[in-house]
Amino acid sequence: MGFGDGGTDADAPVEVTADQLSVDQESGIAVFTGDVMIVQGAMRLTAPEVQVFYGEQGDTIQRLEARGGVLLVNGEDAAEAQRADYDVESGRIVMLGEVLLSQGRATVAAERMEVTLETGQAELTGRVRTVLQPENGE
């Protein structure tokens, strides 16, 4: 199954906006809270809280963990879940907990969805449910 139009550049800058930021220099973790929005290329992720884990040098983002009701939008596709883990280096996002994927009129529900942003490839697992619509819309 596809998600978005593919071609999202994992090397593109990651822009984060939020109401509040708390940084722990020792652990290299930043916690953004309050209406958090993350944008990277055409991909947009929103959540109430996002933890950002930096690399050893503190100048690169390794991964992001979003919690508390996450919305991921890429192109015309959107997915909701309870949490999302984004490995920035590999360009992979794993969404967990009551995942709902919307693609036009089609919706798919599952417990887990893994997306590779570069290719737009998505895999849903964990009691996958969908309603297939006939071509004529009846």
Do the domain assignments include residue 94?
yes
Number of domains making up the chain: 1
Q: Considering only 18-22, 57-61, 81-85, 96-100, which range has the smallest mean pLDDT?
A: 57-61
Do the domain assignments include residue 10?
no
**Cβ distance 12 to 131 under 8 Å?**
no
Do the domain assignments include residue 44?
yes
Do the domain assignments include residue 78?
yes
Do the domain assignments include residue 7?
no
Query: In the predicted model, what is the mean pLDDT of the chain?
Result: 87
User: What is the domain range of residue 126?
Assistant: 15-130
Q: Considering only 15-19, 48-52, 53-57, which range has the smallest mean pLDDT?
A: 53-57
Q: pTM here? A: 0.84
Do the domain assignments include residue 54?
yes
Q: Supply the CATH number for residue 29's domain.
A: 2.60.450.10
